[in-house]
Amino acid sequence: MDLDLAERVFIVTGGARGLGRATADALVAEGARVVISGRSRKSLDAAVAELSEGSGGNTAVAVEADNADARTPSRLLKAAEQAWGRVDGALISVGGPPKGPVTEITDEQWTASFEAVFLGAIRLSRDIGTALPSGGSLALVLSSSVRSPLPEMAISNGLRPGLAMVAKTLSDELGPRGVRVNGLMPGRISTERVTELDASTGDAAAARAAAESQIPLGRYGEPEEFGRAAAFLLSPAASFVNGVMLPVDGGLLRTL
């Protein structure tokens, strides 16, 4: 299937590593160009070099930025405009909040996570979404915690469902302008973040085995599997898919 992504330009926050990077890889493989952002200049530079390899250096540019910074959306839009004169969509990936139960998460942790994970994602979605032309597309990287709480992940359980409802509302608001808004709900994907979460239990191998036993496909997903799903959802090939929350979890969620 041709995803019709050639020459299109996408902003990918958190695009230097993890699920954001996997999505950037998939978009570039389909002929798109990307503006990636993150907080580590070293990681961003390495990612741009790898994404641009063999393309003459006109495939990716990077912006060192924090999602919690109110200036970030305008900086990303400006980078896309300066590099290629257009922007067609964005993947909003906000990273993972601290692990812990409700009874142990501090007010400071809630506040910091709200600024970065919740308000940061809303600001990026609002500002970039309203700047997109007809045919544009937004996708938010959320979590399976949108539909089912995760053990020891109180902040994610609290913030992700709200973001999903905001994304659904934004799809209603931007839909008449021809702009689509969707969400992705990754389950256990083999990223550095999930490796860290498994290790935090004290027995990473046992944690992984226990998690895999709950996944009908019997394994963790690979980042590129998520990236392909995200690229499709962002692409014109999914032109009548709007306001959905797509699980990418090997069947882990037991809800419809």
Buried b (16+ CB within 10 A) or exposed e, 219-239: ebbebebbbbbbbbbbbebbe
Q: Which domain CATH number covers 30?
A: 3.40.50.720
Distance of alpha carbon 121 from alpha carbon 163, whole angstroms? 8
Q: Tell me: pLDDT of 129 over 80.
A: yes
- What is the band of 60 on the pLDDT scale with cuts at 50, 70, 90? very high
Q: Could you give the dihedral angle defined by the CA atoms of residues 8, 11, 16 and 22, in that order, rounded to the nearest 10 degrees?
A: -60
Distance of alpha carbon 138 from alpha carbon 125, whole angstroms? 7
Q: How many domains does the chain have?
A: 1
What is the pTM for the complete model shown?
Answer: 0.96
Strands 137-141 and 89-93: parallel
**pLDDT averaged over the chain?**
95
Q: What is the average per-residue pLDDT within 1-26?
A: 96
Whether residue 198 is contained in a domain is answered as no
| pLDDT reported for residue 94 | 82
Element housing 170 (H / E): helix 154-174
Give the burial class of 162: count Cβ atoms within 10 A of its Cβ; 0-12 exposed, 13-18 middle, 19 or more buried: middle
How many Cβ atoms are within 10 Å of 42's Cβ, its own excluded? Answer: 10
Q: Could you give the dihedral angle defined by the CA atoms of residues 121, 123, 126 and 132, in that order, rounded to the nearest 10 degrees?
A: -90
Strands 89-93 and 60-64: unpaired
Per-residue pLDDT of 208-246, as tens digits, reads 999 999 999 999 999 999 999 999 999 999 999 999 999
The token pair at 77 is: 């839009």
Whether residue 253 is contained in a domain is answered as no
Whether residue 255 is contained in a domain is answered as no
Per-residue pLDDT of 156-180, as tens digits, reads 999 999 999 999 999 999 999 999 9
Whether residue 216 is contained in a domain is answered as no
Whether residue 43 is contained in a domain is answered as yes
**106 phi and psi angles, rounded to 5 deg:** -85, 165
Distance of alpha carbon 161 from alpha carbon 133, whole angstroms? 27
- What is the band of 256 on the pLDDT scale with cuts at 50, 70, 90? confident
Whether residue 55 is contained in a domain is answered as yes
| pLDDT reported for residue 80 | 98
Q: What is the average per-residue pLDDT within 100-126?
A: 96
Whether residue 26 is contained in a domain is answered as yes
Whether residue 205 is contained in a domain is answered as no
Q: Is the sign of the CA dihedral 50, 52, 54, 57 positive or negative?
A: negative
- What is the band of 95 on the pLDDT scale with cuts at 50, 70, 90? confident
| pLDDT reported for residue 55 | 67
Residue ranges making up the domain that contains 131: 9-193+224-247
| Residue 37, helix vs strand vs coil | strand
Q: What is the average per-residue pLDDT within 28-43?
A: 96
The token pair at 222 is: 């690979």
CA distances from 249 to 14, 74, 189 (A): 20, 33, 8
Give the burial class of 132: count Cβ atoms within 10 A of its Cβ; 0-12 exposed, 13-18 middle, 19 or more buried: buried
| pLDDT reported for residue 111 | 95
